[in-house]
Amino acid sequence: MNLTLYQIDAFTDRLFGGNPAAVIPLEKWLDDNLMQNIALENNLSETVFFTPAANGGEADFEIRWFTPSTEIDLCGHATLASAFLLYELLKFEKPVITFNSQSGLLRITKTNDMLAMDFPSWEPEVFNDPPLQLKNALGGANITGLFKNRDLLAILPNEESVRNCNPDFALIENTCYKILISAVGDEVDFVSRFFAPTFGVNVDPVTGSAH
């Protein structure tokens, strides 16, 4: 069996920037354990596989995402990387790519050189019952707001506090599994970092689905 693997940096216009994903197009699904082992071998935040969808449905492709340790239900940057591969190298010609996934139908629209993602959104709610040890898990950070939807979102006082946060990954894994920290930026709208040690990704460079 021969597979072709592409490593694509999403959310960037420069080499070695953004968030890298391993993208593997398939004709049919591999065994789940094999896909997980490939993702472990790649050791990137995400390895994404896609296959042609069955005829007659809305979707063009079926898509699945794996971290080094587990399959997840949604990943933004790897989906964007898959669409880039389809348009730029595999010469997909429709202006919209529709992927079927565990999170439903995901659509990527191409306008000139721009790819736009239409993803599910989860309305955040104030989280009034913070996990024990959360402050310590974030290295003693001053948490000024806490929200929860699909992920946990902690607001810190400023950009410097986000940059200087020194998380305890073992404690995050035992406390909240994964967390996004954010603050108003100095020269941008906001800054953020994402930690998901439970899923084999201590620090993910972007995390499109969380945003």
- pTM for this structure? 0.84
46 noted as active-site residue: yes
What's the token pair of residue 144?
């000024």
Residues 21-45 have a mean pLDDT of: 97
pLDDT, tens only, 160-172: 999 999 999 999 9
Residues 67-85 have a mean pLDDT of: 95
End-to-end distance of the chain based on CA atoms, in angstroms?
A: 37
Residues 111-138 have a mean pLDDT of: 91
Which residue in 27, 41, 46, 159 is the catalytic one? 46
pLDDT, tens only, 56-70: 789 999 999 999 999
pLDDT of residue 5: 98
Residues 13-22 have a mean pLDDT of: 90
| Residue 92: pLDDT band with limits 50, 70, 90 | very high
pLDDT of residue 49: 98
pLDDT, tens only, 128-166: 988 999 999 999 999 999 999 888 999 999 999 999 999
| Residue 211: pLDDT band with limits 50, 70, 90 | confident
Tell me the residue type at 196. A
The Cα 8–Cα 19 span in angstroms is 8
